[in-house]
Chains A and B, each alone.
Chain A
Amino acid sequence: EVQLLESGGGLIQPGGSLRLSCTASGFTLTSYAMSWVRQTPGKGLEWVSAISGSFTYYADSVKGRFTTSTDSSKNTVYLQMNSLRAEDTALYYCTKGSANYRPYYFDYWGQGTLVTVSS
């Protein structure tokens, strides 16, 4: 059974850093593209980043501030978030892609981890 378990969210001040983790089970993480998608009441669902093999992709809104990576030994994907802004406040979901190459849809989602950026 495929499962994705996110962790690492919390309250952080503007300008701070946070690292989200997503541990996968039921499949080999590096065989599929993995993405982070965030959700806010105001902007809805927004794709944030993806990692596919050694390639990474980012939304313009986070490029240069967020970095995604994987640790195959832990079957875990990470989202390092730096220079956080109030507008980064959201529920962050880890998602599994249907393939390791585009085009792919998100066939499994974690339960999400909440990031709140506020002073």
Chain B
Amino acid sequence: EIVLTQSPGTLSLSPGEKATLSCRASQSVGSSDLAWYQQRPGQAPRLLIYGASSRATGIPDRFSGSGSGTDFTLTISRLEPEDFALYYCQQYGASRTFGQGTKVEIK
């Protein structure tokens, strides 16, 4: 099973700042089969990024994904108030596993 480790556990930032979230896999994720999801309090997860770097429909361009192999990054260029939430990475190449999440909180 591919284990995904997200860091940091919590990111404390101010609106307008840049957020950089990391997701590291225990073995290579084939064909960049990696997705990122956002979960706001009381809501279901929402797809942000798939294929490591493709934005889902309706996702603002301040969200971007990058990486390949075992190291992946989600970047939020300028945090808006609605971006303070939990973020999960997920690999879907070999079965399906999720990272433990990164919380982006208001500083």
Contacts and interface: CB of A to CB of B under 8 A. Distances in A.
12 contacts: A35-B96, A44-B100, A45-B88, A45-B90, A45-B101, A47-B95, A93-B44, A105-B33, A105-B90, A109-B46, A110-B44, A112-B44
B30 to A, nearest CB: 8
A44 B88 contact: yes
Interface string A43-77: 01111001000000000000000000000000000
Contacts of B96: 35, 47, 50
Interface of B: 31, 33, 35, 37, 43-47, 50, 56, 88, 90, 92-93, 95-101
A112 B43 CA distance: 9
A27 interface: no
Interface stretch (A13-21, A80-88, A96-104): A96-104
Given A44-B99, A46-B98, A105-B47, 18 more contacts: A35-B96, A44-B98, A44-B101, A45-B98, A47-B96, A47-B98, A98-B50, A102-B92, A105-B33, A105-B35, A105-B90, A105-B92, A106-B37, A107-B47, A107-B56, A109-B46, A111-B43, A112-B44
Main secondary structure of the interface of A (DSSP, over half): strand
Given A44-B88, A45-B88, A106 B47 contact: yes
Contacts, number: 48
A100 B100 CA distance: 27
